[in-house]
Amino acid sequence: MPEFTASERVVGRNSEYVVGERLGEGGFGLAFVATAADGRRVVLKQLRVARMGDWKAMELFEREARVLASLAHPNIPRCHEFFATDGARAVDPADIAQLGGDASLVLVQDHVDGASLAARIAAGERMTAAQAEALLRELLGVLDYLHGLHPPVVHRDIKPANIVVTPAGEPMLIDFGAIQERLRRDSEVGSTTVGTFGFFPMEQVLGKARPASDLYALAMTMVVALTHRQPDELPIDPETSKVVVRSACPGLPERLARALDGMLEPAVGRRLASARDVLVVLAGDALQRRENSLPVPAARSLPPAVYKAPLYTGGAAALLLYGFFFDAFSETDLVALSFVWLPLVLFGLGARLNDSIAGGLRWAVLGTLLLGVFILGVFPAL
């Protein structure tokens, strides 16, 4: 079917919609403001099958659209329905084959009233550090929700244009279209860069986006909103290629500067790994470095001479008996002479391993008892 036009009536499975102005184009299709039958304003995203290239791409988008339809968070526009239509009737997307090749997938979401951060920046509106921190905390809550799903949902295109602030001051994260771009990349050659240049980190360029990639984009968005400077205009450390947050945004509270700094690490392994980690930093707590959490061996208190003297003495006695005087004693004598050296060796080993004289005595006594049992009970039968 052709793209929607103003005043056109679109019949869904749950409601009817009167199409209004066109919002824009991206990914596989178009977005329109519309009015539902109950009077609420919604956004219709029309995804034309003919523009998807192949059925595999459509299958992948449908799978991801169902994930989006399952999202439930107050700072994400609610999805009302997802259907396929040929203009005359609407069916479940799984039954789109019934409609023929010129059908569309339609995703219906809440329309968010308010202005995007991009529009506010363009209008010259400035945020205070306190306002920026409050906004950051709310958006970290959204990312904590998305990244905590199974599997995690990574937005991949966080930027000022995709954060709308409502008249009540609530931020809304919109436009999950980069997810469909990732899926399209899986079925097409090329198109490896997903997101908006300047707001995504290096691993995303390589097609390896992960939850920490959204943290980088969110921090860059906040710095741009605070400075009204685009990413390529921000001061960069020439040695690390990292945005110098304190130079770009002088006067920030230290906890906010540390949080943004940790989110903007170019190397994903050094970056704050989760939204909760960032909230810990914003609370004024320092994250424990991973290597510091490994157990540290306790310092030894037993002097080395305590275990080395008997260990070496017993070892030397065994070497003399069995190396130099082996032929001077009978087999029975050699076994009995084990009482000369074995307790010393066992005491040294026990003291070394347990770091105590008591540990050495336990090993020596136990070894002596076992040797006695062997000599009295086992050796005569051999």
CATH 3.30.200.20 domain span(s) along the chain: 9-110
Question: Does position 112 have pLDDT exceeding 90, yes or no?
Answer: yes
CA dist., res. 77 & res. 110, Å (int): 5
- What lies within 8 Å, CB to CB, of 75 at 6+ separation is 138, 139, 141, 142, 170, 171, 172, 173
Domain with CATH 1.10.510.10 in the chain: 115-290
Q: Which residues are annotated as a binding site?
A: 45
Q: 3-state class of 21 per DSSP?
A: strand
User: Which residues belong to the annotated binding site for ATP?
Assistant: 45
The CATH H-level superfamily of 9-110 is Phosphorylase Kinase; domain 1 (3.30.200.20)
Radius of gyration of the chain (CA): 35
Cite the beta strand spans of the chain per DSSP E. Answer: 9-11, 16-26, 29-36, 41-48, 79-85, 90-91, 104-110, 115-116, 163-165, 171-173, 236-237, 242-243
Fill in the DSSP letter of residue 54.
S
CB 14 within 8 A of CB 170: no
pLDDT, tens digit (0-9, with 9 covering 90-100), for 337-364: 888 888 888 888 888 888 788 888 888 8
pTM, two decimals, is 0.68
* Two tokens, residue 344: 């010393």
pLDDT digits (tens, 9 = 90+) for 189-223: 333 344 577 898 999 888 889 999 999 999 999 99
pLDDT at 262 over 80: yes
Q: Are 313 and 349 in contact (CB under 8 A)?
A: no
Nearest C-alpha neighbor of 171 from the set 214, 112, 216: 112
Cα separation, 355 vs 307, in Å, equals 9
93: preceding bond cis by omega (within 30 degrees): no
Q: What distance in Å separates the CA atoms of residue 355 and residue 81, rounded to the nearest whole number?
A: 69
Question: Could you read off the pLDDT of 50-100 as tens digits, one per residue?
Answer: 666 556 556 656 766 777 788 999 999 998 999 999 988 999 988 888 887
pLDDT at position 216, please?
97
Confidence band of 291 (pLDDT split at 50, 70, 90) = very low
Q: How far apart are CA 85 and CA 103, in angstroms?
A: 6
- Structural class in CATH, domain 115-290: mainly alpha
**pLDDT at residue 300, as a whole number:** 55
Residue 349 and residue 372: Cα distance in Å, rounded? 20
DSSP-derived 3-state class of residue 22: strand
Give residue 124's identity as a one-letter amino acid code.
G
Helices 275-282 and 254-263, axial angle in degrees (round to 10): 160
